[in-house]
Amino acid sequence: MLVVHCSDTPDDEQLRAIDIQYMHLGFGWDGIGYHYVIGRDGRCEAGRPEFWQGAHVRGVNDVSLGVCLIGRTDFTTAQMNRLELLLRDWTARYPQARVVGHRDATQTDKTCPNFDAAAWWQTRITARMTPIAGSAEMLAKPEDGAALETESLFGESLEVLDRHNGYLRVKLATDGYEGWVQALSLTPASDTDKGHEHQLIAAPAVVVSAAPDVKSRCLLKLSLGARVMITDEKGEWLSIALPRGGSGYLPACACAESSPADDYVGVAETFAGVAYHYGGRSHDGLDCSALVQLSLQAAGIACPRNSGDQERWARTAGTIVDASTLERGDLLFWPGHVAICQSGQMMLHANAHHHAVTSERIDDALPRLADATGSPVTAIRLMYD
């Protein structure tokens, strides 16, 4: 069991783990009985190591871990957010464990933690998730160092499919992609967004500030395709909701209307010089198919994540053309690679040859890529409504 407690002290009393340590020593115990203590400001302090048996629930200490919230009934948002993070880590590492309150862990007259912890936790695990930061890595396996499959961007919705070893297996709503994400890097998507407008970030990258001022502290950085919930407008600035509460500010021009469908190439060109990163999907680094997907998405066109799937999709959404008749906007496919025509002579692609998003002459690139992939190019012209 993963047991939630409260200190049952006045809600305005700012206790710390050291105070609980002295209290429990006063009981004649060997020290603090909880494994973690969460203060009123959301700070999480270690008590007993997890590999030590706790002293927090009589009769089940040998099969449980315990965390204590400082306070009695009115717990702060910061405390509950930090509790959620801890429980996401615990349940991912101990997937068979149940989350319960002290009052439900054993026969007791105590009402601790003075709320239904199990019911509260159920609302959190059934919620759709979203990254806390600008992006979250989706890995091939639930382990550190596993191969990067793709990235989920800020505000994108993720469905939790499984949990193991501190990771959650998730499905990305944007394109159905699945992968393992560290539990601590996600938080439930907001369910209090009624009446607010959602928009996609249209700039290649943008800074979210603590105040509507270019000199204000940076809270996080977002990339093209990130999804934000706009809560207010302040002149040239937009106020957006942050996933763990509070607001941030970004320039209104970062959330411009979608580009015309036939100008997705212009969107892609804004990524020129960005580093190549296999599996990457943000302005910090991206691969060839992510460049295509994000650029088309900015123009209101949804397409798959991987180049092979993109070719199959393009064949149904367009027509194959001869490589001698290329035009701006045509897609060029090889096994495992995709590029975008800027004109009949130039193409743009994120590639490992240049280690960046690069514009180069088509006549130079075609023979090199044919040799590298063992296949000639397939050129497809998308058909727009």
Q: What is the CA radius of gyration of the chain?
A: 25
* Cα distances (Å, whole numbers) of residue 105 to 53, 95, 110, 113: 16, 17, 11, 11
Is 294:156 a contact under the CB 8 Å cutoff?
no
Which of 284, 317, 294, 300 is CA-nearest to residue 383? 317
> Which tokens is 265 given?
């190439």
State the Cα–Cα distance between residues 173 and 78, nearest whole angstrom. 28
Which one-letter amino acid corresponds to residue 293?
A: Q
- Four-point Cα dihedral 66, 67, 68, 73, nearest 10: -100
What amino acid positions are annotated as catalytic residues?
5, 34, 102, 110, 112
Is 128:145 a contact under the CB 8 Å cutoff?
no
> Which tokens is 269 given?
């060109």
**Residue position matching structure tokens 């002149």:** 235
> Which tokens is 374 given?
């063992």
- Four-point Cα dihedral 50, 52, 57, 61, nearest 10: 110
| 20 phi/psi in degrees, rounded to 5 | -65, -35
State the Cα–Cα distance between residues 3 and 5, nearest whole angstrom. 7
Reported for 172-178, long-range contacts at CB under 8 A and 24+ positions apart, including other chains, are 172/138, 173/128, 174/225, 174/297, 174/302, 175/293, 175/302, 175/304, 175/305, 177/138, 177/149, 177/150, 177/305, 178/138, 178/149
3-state DSSP call for residue 346? strand
**Helices and strands, counts by H and E, the chain:** 8, 26
| 170 phi/psi in degrees, rounded to 5 | -130, 160
